[in-house]
Amino acid sequence: MTLKATLIAGLAAASVIASAGLGLAQEEKKNPVVEARQSLMHLYAFNLGLLGGMAKGEIEYDAEAAGAAASNLAALAATDQTRIWAEGTDNATLGDSTEALPAIWENSDDFAAKRTALVEASATMADAAGGGLEGLRGAMGALGGACGGCHKAYRK
Ligand code: HEC
Closest ligand 1 atom to 104 CA = 12
Categorize the per-residue pLDDT at 16 as very low, low, confident or very high, splitting at 50, 70 and 90.
low
Q: Which whole-number Å values give the CA distances from 123 to 53, 76, 118, 140, 155, in the listed order?
A: 19, 11, 8, 12, 23
Q: 21-50, pLDDT tens digit by residue?
A: 555 544 567 999 999 999 999 999 999 999
Task: Find out whether the beta carbon of 48 lies less than 6 Å from any atom of ligand 1.
Answer: yes
What is the C-alpha separation between 147 and 117, in angstroms, rounded? 9
106 pLDDT more than 60 = yes
**Residue 143 to residue 148: CA distance in whole angstroms:** 9
Could you tell me the distance, in angstroms and rounded to a whole number, from the CA of residue 112 to the centre of ligand 1? 14
Angle at 100 between CA 97 and CA 101, to 5 degrees: 120
Average pLDDT across the chain, whole number: 90
Residue 29: its pLDDT value, please?
A: 76
> Regarding predicted confidence, which is higher, 26 or 70?
70
CB of 61 within 8 A of CB of 54? yes
- What is the pLDDT confidence band of residue 75, given thresholds at 50, 70 and 90? very high
In terms of Cβ atoms closer than 10 Å to its own Cβ (0-12, 13-18, 19+), residue 2 is exposed
List the one residue out of 131, 7, 150 whose CA is nearest residue 139.
131
User: What is the structure's pLDDT at 110?
Assistant: 98
Atom of ligand 1 nearest to the CA of 118: 5
pLDDT at 14: 57
